[in-house]
Amino acid sequence: MSTLDSKTPKGPLKDKWSTYKDKIDLVNPANKRLIDVIVVGTGLAGGSASATLAELGYNVKAFCYQDSPRRAHSIAAQGGINAAKNYQGDGDSPYRLFYDTVKGGDYRSREANVYRLAEVSANIIDQCVAQGVPFAREYGGLLDNRSFGGVLVSRTFYAKGQTGQQLLLGAYSAMNRQIARGKIEMFNRHEMLDVVVVDGKARGIIARNLVTGEIERHSAHAVVIASGGYGNVYFLSTNAMGSNTTAAWKIHKKGAYFANPCYTQIHPTCIPRSGDYQSKLTLMSESLRNDGRIWVPKKMEDVHAIREGKLKPTQIAEEDRDYYLERRYPAFGNLVPRDVASRAAKERCDAGYGVNATGEAVYLDFKSAIERYGAEQAKIQGIENPSKEKIIALGEKIVEAKYGNLFQMYEKIVDENPYKTPMMIYPATHYTMGGIWVDYNLMTTIPGCYAIGEANFSDHGANRLGASALMQGLADGYFVLPYTIGDYLSDDIRTGPISTDSPEFEQAEKDVQERINFFVNNNGSKSVDYFHKRLGKVMWDKVGMARNEQGLKEAMDEIKAIREEFWKEVRVPGTAEGMNTELEKAGRVADFLELGELFAKDALHRNESCGGHFREESVELDGEQKGEAKRDDENFAYVAAWEYKGDPREAVLHKEELEFKDIELKQRSYK
């Protein structure tokens, strides 16, 4: 085991980034034309990085597996993006955003990275407005804000319930400008299947053209991985069907350390599972918790009556409802951070109070918000003695304006009207805080290979606060990587074009080809999804919202067994030529089956509860915080970065000790 150097600049926290920027090496514009950069993934991080690098003058080759960069799953982010603008004058500042993020992450993130993130956050909003992102505005024409979980200020900018979409389309439009100029060469429907390391440096990738099936070699002076998170290791998650870990896992196998894989965010407000055929879960924005109140019945007989359809939730009297978040966390109430809200829902459902047939659902109720807004509107409109119906009608209008698209989505999926009856929600895998280990420059342990956005591990610690993923993706791509990568590339101005004829490219292509040939010739008896679903079940049951030693050990063995069976029994119809969606899935699931085991191993080794990682062995035993997660700063205040050694369980741990100079480590209390 070694200790990792994060290359964090010296000096006071507040000056690190600006001092760093003043001192790094730059590449002059004429030389940038001689340098190629590969970017894998076109979400907020990859898209913004591609556009910015191209604009600076580098030749960018961007890859995505979808048919257009605009489809990347950043598009599905609903609620908003944080920025320390303090437009509301409620005491916000970069320091406070930094503080909230570190605290929200349960003190498991790198201080300097988070401060930098908070510092550039305001620029993101300026940038996005300049490129035509239609953020929500107030009647005065200025930008509107809302509040998100785990914080005490309103710093979240939003565009209806489609903020991710609008930000991604902004980055996509910036990319389009560069594609039109020829500075970005776009490879749609291409999947990266390996990274090529030449003389110790990342010098290119092997990609499969998903339309023709051709295996292609692409070279560059640096490779940027922006391929998102690995939540689909659970099979069911709020990720897109195609979201995968392959790019990240391939660089891991070639030398990039994988950090904190066990830090996974289980989002509290998702539409519950309805049956075994379910292919994915749908998130309902956290912003709903601004106005919705979460509850389950207090009495078990009510629960049974509801499940049997004898009672409707609206018929349950106020005093028979358990608003358990408000009860347990009076200070933050329904706006506690995601990990806390998710565990509380699980606790109630495990105790038998779940309100749907599967027993895995709680209510999210808008009745009091509708009445409150309705009364307010009646007053504004000068209606005297409004009837109850009038108040509700007025209130529903306001709620519709705020969350209309979410309500519509819910109704389409569940076939119930959430204005009239409470929504049912349950936690689901949503985001992975863990990822490829990167230093302050966002470079992995492979020189010249970078990881940005959700693909890296750096900024959210053990739990991510709402509206921070969009912030990090764009910060990395627009404002951080373009500086840090220049420092590295300044050594490459005389290198010239990288040849794809080297033995390293040859070998990498051969390995990729062999694996593909294996799949299409295996003649197994079971589909790829069969294995993926089994993996997902093990992950959810034993490496899900609550974990313990025994379960984790079992999970490691079970995943290994599934993996071995997969390689014997998987069946991939069709050929290696042309479009073959089963072949694509097979490669991705093969990688998930390795990652899953490392994930469990990491969870097993981290014998503390922090953020999204909850170990049943590590809880507060008494006092006000009884039953809450218990962190162990003495033994675990480090980043666990794993080095690949051929078998996931043989991975070697490297630690990056986390130092908190500007923040005092405290128990997170939302009571």
Partner 1 sequence: MNLTLKIWRQNGASDKGKLVSYKVADISEHMSFLEMLDVLNEQLVNSGEEPVAFDHDCREGICGMCSLHINGEAHGPDRGVTTCQLHMRMFKDGDTITIEPFRAKAFPVVKDLVVDRSALDRIQQAGGYISVNTSGNTQDANAIPIPKADADEAMDAATCIGCGACVASCKNASAMLFVSAKVSQYALLPQGRVEAKDRVLNMVSQMDKEGFGNCTNTGACEVECPKGISITNIARMNREYLSASIKND
Q: Which stretch binds partner 1 (CB under 8 A): 31-39, 51-59, 224-232, 465-473?
A: 51-59
Q: Is 274 in the site for partner 1 (CB under 8 A)?
A: yes
Q: Which is nearer to partner 1, 141 or 623 (CB)?
A: 141
Q: Which stretch binds partner 1 (CB under 8 A): 34-42, 300-308, 567-575, 611-619?
A: 567-575
Q: Which is nearer to partner 1, 23 or 412 (CB)?
A: 412
Q: Is 136 in the site for partner 1 (CB under 8 A)?
A: yes
First to last CA, the chain: 39
Q: Are strands 59-63 and 36-40 parallel, antiparallel or unpaired?
A: parallel
Gyration radius (Cα) of the chain, Å:
25
Least Å from the CB of residue 592 to partner 1: 17
Least Å from the CB of residue 572 to partner 1: 8
Q: Which of 321, 338, 534, 631 is catalytic?
A: 338
Cβ atoms within 10 Å, residue 354: 23
Nearest CA to 234 out of 247, 246, 243 is that of 243
| Alpha-carbon separation of residue 136 from 149, 363, 398, 399 (angstroms) | 19, 28, 14, 15
Indicate which single residue of 93, 282, 490, 513 sits in contact with partner 1 (rule: CB under 8 A).
282
Q: Which is nearer to partner 1, 332 or 479 (CB)?
A: 479
Q: Which is nearer to partner 1, 239 or 264 (CB)?
A: 239
Q: What is the largest CA-CA distance in the chain?
A: 83
Question: Per-residue x/- marks for partner 1, 78-107, CB under 8 A?
Answer: -------x-x--------------------
Q: Are strands 638-643 and 258-259 parallel, antiparallel or unpaired?
A: antiparallel
Angle at 90 between CA 102 and CA 80, to 5 degrees: 60
Cα dihedral value 415, 417, 423, 424, nearest 10: -20
Q: Which is nearer to partner 1, 275 or 382 (CB)?
A: 275
Q: Is 66 in the site for partner 1 (CB under 8 A)?
A: yes
Phi, psi values for residue 263, rounded to 5°: -80, 100
Per residue, the 3-state secondary structure of 43-85, as one string, reads CHHHHHHHHHHHHHCCEEEEECCCCCHHHCHHHHCCCCEECCC
Q: In what order do the strands lie in the sheet with 258-259?
A: 435-436, 258-259, 638-643, 652-657
Q: Which stretch binds partner 1 (CB under 8 A): 33-41, 161-169, 327-335, 368-376?
A: 161-169
Q: How far apart are CA 459 and CA 111, in angstroms?
A: 8
The crossing angle, in degrees rounded to 10, of helices 44-56 and 163-181 is 30
Q: Which is nearer to partner 1, 122 or 383 (CB)?
A: 122
Indicate which single residue of 16, 32, 61, 73 sits in contact with partner 1 (rule: CB under 8 A).
73
Task: State both tokens at 359.
Answer: 């027993």
Residues of this chain, 477-506, that bind partner 1 according to CB under 8 A? 478-479
Nearest CA to 643 out of 328, 268, 255 is that of 255
Number of residues in contact with partner 1 under rule CB under 8 A: 83
| Alpha-carbon separation of residue 423 from 288, 291, 409 (angstroms) | 10, 12, 11
Least Å from the CB of residue 653 to partner 1: 35
Residues of this chain, 526-565, that bind partner 1 according to CB under 8 A? 527-529
Indicate which single residue of 82, 145, 147, 165 sits in contact with partner 1 (rule: CB under 8 A).
165
Least Å from the CB of residue 208 to partner 1: 15
Find where tokens 């899900």 sit: 544
Q: Which is nearer to partner 1, 331 or 413 (CB)?
A: 413
Least Å from the CB of residue 231 to partner 1: 13
Amino acid at 42: T
The crossing angle, in degrees rounded to 10, of helices 528-542 and 549-569 is 180
Indicate which single residue of 61, 70, 190, 613 sits in contact with partner 1 (rule: CB under 8 A).
70
Residues of this chain, 631-650, that bind partner 1 according to CB under 8 A? none
Residues of this chain, 110-129, that bind partner 1 according to CB under 8 A? 120, 123-129
Residues of this chain, 222-251, that bind partner 1 according to CB under 8 A? 238, 240-242
Question: Per-residue x/- marks for partner 1, 430-459, CB under 8 A?
Answer: ------------------------------
Residues of this chain, 167-186, that bind partner 1 according to CB under 8 A? 169, 172-174, 176-177, 179-180, 186
Local structure of 613: helix, strand or coil: strand
- The answer for residues whose C-beta is within 8 angstroms of residue 123's C-beta and 6 or more apart is 478, 479
Residues of this chain, 401-430, that bind partner 1 according to CB under 8 A? 408-409, 412-413, 415
Q: Which is nearer to partner 1, 75 or 114 (CB)?
A: 75
Indicate which single residue of 495, 499, 507, 581 sits in contact with partner 1 (rule: CB under 8 A).
581
Least Å from the CB of residue 520 to partner 1: 11
Residues of this chain, 504-533, that bind partner 1 according to CB under 8 A? 527-529
Active site residue 321: no
Q: How far apart are CA 112 and CA 8, in angstroms?
A: 7
Task: State both tokens at 202.
Answer: 């990342």
Least Å from the CB of residue 179 to partner 1: 5
Whether the CA torsion 474, 480, 485, 490 is positive or negative: it is: positive
Q: How far apart are CA 547 and CA 538, in angstroms?
A: 12
Q: Which stretch binds partner 1 (CB under 8 A): 103-111, 440-448, 456-464, 577-585?
A: 577-585
Residue positions annotated with a catalytic role: 338
